[in-house]
Amino acid sequence: MSAAKPNPAPGGQIVPLRGLDERRSALSEISDEALLASCGVGDSAALGALFDRHHDAVYRLVSRLLRGEPAETDDLVQTTFLEAWKSAHTYGGRGSVKSFLFGIAANTARRHFRSTRRRRAAYADWPEPPRSGTPDEAAVRAQQVARLAAALDELPLDLRTAYVLCDLEDLPGVEAARVLGIRAGTLWRRLHDARRALRDAIEGGTR
Amino acid sequence: MSDESDPLRDLGKQLPYDRPDPARRDAVRSSLLVAASEGRRPGARSRWLLVGGGFAAGALAAAAIAMIVVRTPAPTAPAAREAVATIESSSAAELQRSTVTTPTGSDELVRVRSGTIRLAMPTVRTGDHVRLQTGDAEVEGSGAYEVVVAADALASVTVSTGTATVRLKGQQQAVFLAAGETWRPTVITAELEVPPAKPDVVATAAVDPASPTAASLSAASPSSSSSSSPSRVAASSSPSPTAASPSRTTVTPSSLPATRPRVVTPSSATTSPPQVVAPVEAATAPRPAVTAPIEPTPPVVTGTSPTESSFRAGYALLRDNKFAAAALELGKAADGAGPLAADARYFQAVALTKAGRAADAERALVQFIDRAATSVRRGRAVVMLARLLAARGDAASARAWFEDALRDADASVVAAARAGITALN
């Protein structure tokens, strides 16, 4: 075949490879806040880096709030990051970027929950948790986890969100209240109610 | 309240959750980036968009009606517009470029069979397309990106500015890349064992044998850490020896040694099928058994120049199995001048190989081989390169490099090369 040999580009605009390596390296070292700020000015690479960094936590949060089908969870996670991309300019630096994402994820899940209202599957089909200790202890533990999962599913979404954010994701209460747009007192009340209901469910099952 | 809730918290953290597998995650990521780039730019949305949208919809409807009512005759042989993409290619690149006019604009097709191509697109007007096509894939992007093609198969796409979409034949889902991202075909390779290195460079400054630096450097053996259990390396194709060299900043073809095997030739590119993905062959082929009869000893470095400092830091990181960081530091040292810089490139390749970045390792090895044609490490670098090529299924290139290593003065290198050729057979 005849191979065309193009002329070298005068004043080429192509970034040399070394620059790319540095950029990738810089992306891995840049702070969450800077990544979000870059999202705010349309840098999609920053969005990709933010996704790489936080997708696991967002997946965990979404799937514990709404135990849906994998495709449903994927959609909610994607919506979360897309909302973060669109509203990056609203991030005021209060709280961490992870909290910011969690707030969006929680609100996205709430909207989705209200729009679907479909019955969740029974918790019996939750995968068995990892075992530890003696077989008896492990069996008891597994039962407790299964009971907790079932009780969590029965909780109203507001209480569930408070419990998942504060107890499972270790978000400070004040920050959780802020990202949910509620007062701190309201959050503590919900958290208290959630814990009590869950504890009752677990202890009730053991009696 | 917190004391009471601690057991509950511990129990809750054992709740399983839907952790996505890599394929799902990548699909969501690609879809997210596509959605983010398709007109849904961040920023405050204005209500005027609704008004503008209404007007735009009306205008579109009017235009459509006008097109239906006043149907113009088809244009007679419109002159093809000037190509909109700026292309740089390696001297060994094999490509054809054509532009046709379409009803909506122009369609520029760059057909590449081998080599490294860099495309830069200024603003592409709506309706215009610039596509890069290989035997197995098509890439379309905006901004600037670099494509490496080996044996008519897409080996890598690296986006420097803008975005690019990679469509593979036979796969419905396209891969979306943003600036700073690289795509490579994923293949599973056999374990890669790094051959040892020999002392090459000795600094002129005095050496304190008891100094931590000297001790750590002599103890640091890239191959010693390579004796781990077989690992699955997600390797990528990479620039073939001829395709990788044309970096504007490093190597020119004229500087290559005369004995350098030319593994990707135009004829082989056109007659042999794409060999980028060959997981079965790579996984089942017996791995060349390379022993390490010579304990590797790095160059003794005692100076304080930036190159020496980076080398020392990089080597220490390599010894500590911090391969990515080591590669970064050694890369800085390799950008310097002199034999130490060449050695740094070699050890950077070792670090990159350990880090599973096969394509970058290949690139570093090619640079090392080109820069240090007389280095005693050259043979080992050649064997490493051949193994990487064999691991990703490029048997022809691997064989050429193994045969090149047969001429090395080091018996262990020759033995490794023979073993490699045997494994290929």
Angle made by CA atoms A183, A184, A189, in degrees to the nearest 5: 100
B345 pLDDT higher than 70: yes
How far B338 CA lies from chain A's nearest CA (Å)?
A: 19
Count how many Cα atoms sit within 13 Å of the Cα of residue B54 in the half-sphere of its side chain: 4
- Please indicate whether, in this complex, the C-beta atoms of B87 and A6 are within 8 angstroms of each other: yes
Angle made by CA atoms B364, A14, B264, in degrees to the nearest 5: 45
A42 closest CB neighbour out of B41, B93, B181: B41
Q: What is the DSSP letter of B202?
A: B
Average pLDDT, chain A: 76
Confidence of residue A112 (pLDDT cuts 50, 70, 90): confident
How far A159 CA lies from chain B's nearest CA (Å)?
A: 14
Mean pLDDT of A106-112: 88
- Closest-CA residue of A relative to B1 is A192
Q: Supply the pLDDT for residue A4.
A: 39
- Residue of A7, A14, A62 for testing the chain B interface, max B β-carbons within 10 Å: A14
- Please indicate whether, in this complex, the C-beta atoms of B178 and A44 are within 8 angstroms of each other: yes
- Closest-CA residue of A relative to B324 is A25
The tokens for A199 are 């504890």
Neighbours of B383 (CB within 10 A): 31
User: Which residues 92-121 of A have a C-beta within 8 angstroms of B?
Assistant: none
Q: Which residue has the higher pLDDT, B290 or B107?
A: B107
Average pLDDT, chain B: 66
User: Which residues 23-82 of B have a C-beta within 8 angstroms of A?
Assistant: 24-25, 27-29, 31-33, 35-37, 40-45
B95 pLDDT higher than 60: yes
> Is B124 an interface residue toward A (CB < 8 Å)?
no
- Closest-CA residue of B relative to A29 is B325
**B33-47, B66-80, B317-331, B335-349: segment of lowest average pLDDT:** B66-80
> Is A24 an interface residue toward B (CB < 8 Å)?
yes
Report chain A residues whose CB lies below 8 A from the CB of B175: none
Question: Can you tell me the distance from the alpha carbon of A166 to that of A61, in angstroms, rounded to the nearest whole number?
Answer: 11
How far B422 CA lies from chain A's nearest CA (Å)?
A: 34
Listed in sequence order, the residues at least 6 apart from B409 whose beta carbon sits closer than 8 Å to its beta carbon are B376, B379
> Is A195 an interface residue toward B (CB < 8 Å)?
yes
C-beta pairs of B289-292 under 8 Å, 24+ apart in sequence: B289/B419, B290/B193, B290/B195, B290/B383, B290/B412, B290/B415, B290/B416, B290/B419, B291/B412, B291/B415, B292/B195, B292/B196, B292/B223, B292/B412
Listed in sequence order, the residues at least 6 apart from B172 whose beta carbon sits closer than 8 Å to its beta carbon are none
The tokens for B331 are 């890369």
Confidence of residue B98 (pLDDT cuts 50, 70, 90): confident
How far B190 CA lies from chain A's nearest CA (Å)?
A: 26
Report chain A residues whose CB lies below 8 A from the CB of B330: none
Which stretch, A62-71, B213-222, B293-302, has highest mean pLDDT?
A: A62-71
Confidence of residue B100 (pLDDT cuts 50, 70, 90): confident
3-state class of B236 per DSSP?
A: coil
> Is A59 an interface residue toward B (CB < 8 Å)?
yes
Mean pLDDT of B82-111: 75
Identify which of B159, A197, B364 has the alpha carbon closest to the alpha carbon of residue B148: B159
Q: Which residue has the higher pLDDT, A55 or A30?
A: A55
> Is A55 an interface residue toward B (CB < 8 Å)?
yes
How far B158 CA lies from chain A's nearest CA (Å)?
A: 8
Backbone angles phi, psi at B138, to 5 degrees: -140, 140
Confidence of residue A18 (pLDDT cuts 50, 70, 90): very low
Identify which of B363, B307, B299 has the alpha carbon closest to the alpha carbon of residue B90: B363
Q: Supply the pLDDT for residue A117.
A: 58
- The pLDDT tens digits of the residues spanning B33-88 come to 877 776 544 444 444 444 555 566 677 777 766 665 555 444 444 444 455 677 77
B173 — alpha (psi -120 to 50), left (phi > 0) or beta?
beta
B18 — alpha (psi -120 to 50), left (phi > 0) or beta?
beta
B5 closest CB neighbour out of A2, A27, A195: A195
**Residue carrying structure tokens 């930036």:** B306
- Closest-CA residue of B relative to A79 is B32
Amino acid identity, position A21: D
> Is B20 an interface residue toward A (CB < 8 Å)?
yes
User: Which residues 127-156 of B have a C-beta within 8 angstroms of A?
Assistant: 144, 146
Question: Can you tell me the distance from the alpha carbon of B83 to that of B106, in angstroms, rounded to the nearest whole number?
Answer: 9
In whole angstroms, how large is the CA radius of gyration of chain A? Answer: 22
3-state class of B25 per DSSP?
A: helix
User: Which residues 364-403 of B have a C-beta within 8 angstroms of A?
Assistant: none
Backbone angles phi, psi at B256, to 5 degrees: -75, 145
- Residue of B1, B13, B17, B161 for testing the chain A interface, max A β-carbons within 10 Å: B17
The tokens for B27 are 């699909």
Q: Report pTM.
A: 0.42
- Please indicate whether, in this complex, the C-beta atoms of A64 and B113 are within 8 angstroms of each other: no
> In which element (H, E) is residue B168 found?
strand B153-168
Neighbours of B138 (CB within 10 A): 16
H-assigned helices in A41-156: 44-65, 70-86, 97-116, 135-154
Write the burial class of residue B224 (CB in 10 Å: 0-12 exposed, 13-18 middle, 19+ buried): middle
Question: Can you tell me the distance from the alpha carbon of B307 to that of A180, in angstroms, rounded to the nearest whole number?
Answer: 52
Q: How far is CA B200 from the centre of its chain?
A: 28
Identify which of A112, A107, A12 has the alpha carbon closest to the alpha carbon of residue A71: A112
Residue burial A52-75, b: 16+ Cβ < 10 Å; e: rest: ebbbeebbbbbbbbbbbeeebbbb
- The pLDDT tens digits of the residues spanning B253-263 come to 333 333 344 33
> Is A81 an interface residue toward B (CB < 8 Å)?
yes
Q: Which residue has the higher pLDDT, A80 or B268?
A: A80
Angle made by CA atoms A9, A10, A11, in degrees to the nearest 5: 110
B359 pLDDT higher than 80: yes
Mean pLDDT of A66-95: 86
B1 closest CB neighbour out of A12, A52, A192: A192
Beta-strand (E) ranges in B265-304? none
Q: What is the DSSP letter of B113?
A: E
Mean pLDDT of B17-32: 82
Q: Pairing state of beta strands B233-235 and B182-183?
A: unpaired
- Please indicate whether, in this complex, the C-beta atoms of B42 and A167 are within 8 angstroms of each other: no
- Residue of A2, A7, A15 for testing the chain B interface, max B β-carbons within 10 Å: A15
H-assigned helices in B355-410: 358-371, 378-391, 395-405
- Please indicate whether, in this complex, the C-beta atoms of B15 and A152 are within 8 angstroms of each other: yes
User: Which residues 192-251 of B have a C-beta within 8 angstroms of A?
Assistant: 247-249
Identify which of B165, B137, B182, B161 has the alpha carbon closest to the alpha carbon of residue B33: B165
Q: Return the biggest CA–CA distance within chain B.
A: 91
Mean pLDDT of B294-301: 47
A35 pLDDT higher than 90: no
- Please indicate whether, in this complex, the C-beta atoms of A167 and B12 are within 8 angstroms of each other: yes
**A48-57, A188-197, B313-322: segment of lowest average pLDDT:** B313-322
In whole angstroms, how large is the CA radius of gyration of chain B? Answer: 26
Identify which of B156, B153, B375, B151 has the alpha carbon closest to the alpha carbon of residue B242: B151
Mean pLDDT of B102-123: 79
Complex ipTM: 0.75
**A23-37, B92-106, B220-234: segment of lowest average pLDDT:** B220-234
**Residue carrying structure tokens 């670099």:** B146
How far A201 CA lies from chain B's nearest CA (Å)?
A: 11
3-state class of B213 per DSSP?
A: helix
3-state class of B7 per DSSP?
A: helix
Q: Are B399 and B385 in contact (CB under 8 A)?
A: no
